[in-house]
Structure formats: structure tokens, C-alpha cells
Structure 1
Amino acid sequence: MTAARRPNRGPKAAAHNRAALIAAARDAFAASGYDTSLTDVARAAGVGQGSLYRHFPDRLSLALAVFEDSIGELEALAAKPGTTLDEVLALVTEQAIASTTFVRLVTMPPQPDPRIIELRERVQRLLEGGLAEAQRAGRVRAEVTTHDLLLAIGMLALLLAELPDQTERTEAAERIWQMLRHGIET
């Protein structure tokens, strides 16, 4: 679906254009993955290629802007007192079902870019607290690490990326976590 191009409003339109690009990219990444056409993203946002590249000099910059909301949502949940590891993993799973691109970007970066490494470290930090609490409570094996959790989340994202239907992704995610829990729980 393409949006009609609007007349150029100059610098006054910058914030609106950026928001439109992020919204269009979110939909495109969810539908087509990380390698989605940036031309299609610009077209869906109703802006030209030049506007896209003024805001986001490369694909990764656009992806990071799109997924800042996702990581923020995870960090907010993890910061709430009493949040469990299961709750954080459930939200990661919801995000993976909606868009495997975010989870794959964090767990299996396409390139060793410092921006991705920083994003991955943010996810590791938010998992650490829940993991430590679950281990203290005796619900998770002591040898399980945040790296193990990221690996499990990455495996989940790889499989979910192959399933085109959201209902299938949801059912598969539930079955996968049931199996993975047997490996990490005491």
C-alpha cells in the first residue's frame, strides 16, 4: 500500500516525516523482515528517498529507531518491582511474534555494529535481574546465563520468521517455550 506524496513543507515537516517513516518501517519489518525495501518504506510513509536518508543514513539506523520503542517497553517492564523473568520473556515473545526482525537484530546481529552491541547489552541487562531472581527462588538452574536466554530467544525468532501466519507463530512460540523451560527450570 502506498501513500500519496505530500507537497514539500520543508523543515516544518521533519518531525512528522520521521514519525511516518518509523511507522512505515515498523509495518514493513514486521511483514517482510530486515531486508525490506527502503523504497517501499519511503513510499508508504509518503516521503521521498531523500527524506528517508536525511533522517536515517542507513537501514540499521532506521531499524534501531523502529525498535527503540520495543526495547523501552521491555526496560519499563523489567524496572517494575516484582517483575518476573517469565513476564519479561513473555513480552519478548510477543514482540517476536509481531516482528521477528527486532529479536533477530538483538540476538543475531547482521554485522558487529556498536549500535547493535549496545542494544544487545540493554536486553542482557534487563534479563539479568529477572534471571538472578528466578535462580535465587530456585525456579531456574544456576548454570543458566543471560547468553543462554538470548540464544533461546534467537532460536525462537529464527523459527517464527519462517511462519507467515501470526496464529501459527503464537502457537509455535508457546510450544517452544514449553520445551525450553524443561532445559532451564529446576
Structure 2
Amino acid sequence: MTQQRTRDERRPANDGRKAAARNRAALIAAAREIYADSGLNAPLSAIARRAGVGQGVLYRHFPDRAAVATAVLDENVRQIEQAAAEPGADIVGVLGVLTWHQTQSAAFISLLHADRAGEVSAVPEYASALSGRVERALRRHLPAGHRLGGEREDLMIAVAMVSGAVAGPTREHRERRALAAWRLLGVEVGAVRPYGE
């Protein structure tokens, strides 16, 4: 004998697009957390678990590892671009936002080491493209004669050098090391903060 559901026991309506948007946002948030600690090679299954969804849901939104990484890292790069686009923005302030992202995420540091010099490398294309966007955002604020404006590669070599110094158990420790590295390079950096704070 089958029982009929009462009005209050009905199955919830399918949220369709709302659920898809929530799942995508949860996956990006989970990937950001996992990438911050483990870098871009973290297992996709860990991201799905952290988001509270199955791997099938992850693959419906992101067909491969590169798509997940691009979605997460694009947010970091977008914040740097937004900081650079602010009226009155200068290199000191934009470097502060960049440095905040360096201290937050192992994945972002990997991105900043992307080799765009035309050499054969294992750097994924999306990482190279995002790194190029960071370079353009910074370069537009380099005043004439700035120490990072010399040779074409000087700017991103300095960024990669600072990224290499960012290590430590806490964000505060990593921030101190990043600021010390910028200081040793003779470069002034503004407040280390995310864009908008």
C-alpha cells in the first residue's frame, strides 16, 4: 500500500538554476580554501567533498582541473585589476593587494611563477594568461624610472622572487617575509589587504 504525501510532506521544488549557481559558488569557495593550502595539484575529489557535492556536480560545472583553477585564480587576478583601475591608484597600493594574495594562496604563488618568456615549459596556458593580466595591471602604474621598470622581465621576476620568500605557518608570518623581500628589493609596498578593504 502506498501512502500519499500530505501537502507539507511534498518533495521540495527543484531549484534548477539557483541550485546550480549555489553549487558553483560552493565549489569555487571550496577550491579556494584547498588551493590556498595545497596548491593547484590538490585532488578534485577533495574540492567536491569540501563543497558538499558529488564529483559529478563538480564536472558539470568544470570539465577539467584547468577550469576549476581558472575560476578560482581569476578572482584573485580580478581583485588586482580592480585595485589597479581605481581612480588615484598607484604601484604602491596595487602591490599591497598583490602581496595580500601572495600571502593567502599557494596556488596564486604558482600562478605568478608562470613562464611567459616563450620557453617550453609545463606551465598551463590559463596560468600564463592570468599571470599576464597581473603583469599588465602592475605595469600600468610603474612610474618612469621605477626600479621594477628596467628590463622587460624585471617586474615579474621581482614578483616571483617575493613569492618564493612567502613561506611560514601563518598568514602574518608569510606577510612579514613578503614585506621583507620587497624591502630587500628596494620596493615600497602599501597596506597588505584584499581589494575593497
Q: Same fold (TM over 0.5)?
A: yes
2:59 alignment counterpart: 53
Matched, 1:123 2:155: no
In structure 1, the gaps of 5 or more residues are 1-6
- Matched residues in 1 for 2:165 and 2:114: separation? 13
Q: Which amino acid in structure 2 is aligned with residue 179 of structure 1?
A: L
* Cα distance in 1 between the residues matched to 2:93 and 2:28: 27
Instruction: Look up the equivalent residue of 2:44 and give its one-letter code.
Output: L
Computing the radius of gyration over CA atoms, which structure comes out larger, 1 or 2? 2
Determine which of 72, 93, 113 is the counterpart of 1:66: 72
Q: Deviations over 1:120-155 (max 9, x none)?
A: 221121112111xx22xx5x1485246212112112
Deviation beyond 4 Å, 4+ runs, structure 1? none
Match of residue 171 from structure 1: 176
RMSD (CA atoms)? 2.3
**TM-score normalised according to structure 1 size:** 0.80
Confirm or deny: 8 A CA contact 1:23 1:45 kept in the other structure.
Answer: yes
Which consecutive unaligned segments of at least 5 residues does structure 2 have? 1-11, 116-120, 188-197
Q: Tell me the residue number matched to 1:29.
A: 35
- The one-letter code matched in structure 1 to 2:172 is T
Q: Which residue of 1 aligns with 2:22?
A: 16
**Cα contact 1:100–1:158 (8 A) shared by 2:** no
Give the Cα separation in 1 of the matches to 2:178 and 2:111: 18
1:181 aligns to 2:171 (yes or no): no
Counterparts of 1:107 and 1:149, CA distance in 2: 12
Shift of 1:24: 0.3
1:83 and 1:46 map into 2 onto residues whose CA distance is 39
| SS across alignment from 1:181 | coil
**1:66-115: CA deviation from partner (whole Å, max 9, x where unpaired):** 12221111111111232111111111110010113113213326734332
- Asked if 2 retains the 8 angstrom alpha-carbon contact of 1:127 and 1:146, the reply is no
Q: Which structure has greater helix proportion?
A: 1
**1:95/1:35 Cα in 2 relative to 1: closer, same or farther (>3 Å)?**
same
Secondary structure in 2 aligned to 1:23? helix
TM-score scaled by length of structure 2: 0.76
3-state DSSP class of the match of 1:163?
coil
Counterparts in 2 of 1:145 and 1:104: CA distance versus 1, 3 Å: farther
User: Number of residue pairs matched?
Assistant: 169
Superposed CA deviations along residues 15-50 of structure 1, whole A, max 9, x for unmatched, are 111110000000101122222221111001011111
Matched, 1:156 2:162: yes
Higher relative contact order (CA 8 A, sep 6+): 2
Distance verdict in 2 for CA 1:98–1:112, change over 3 Å: closer
% identity of equivalent residues: 38
Rounded Cα–Cα distance in structure 2 between residues aligned with 1:145 and 1:74 = 22
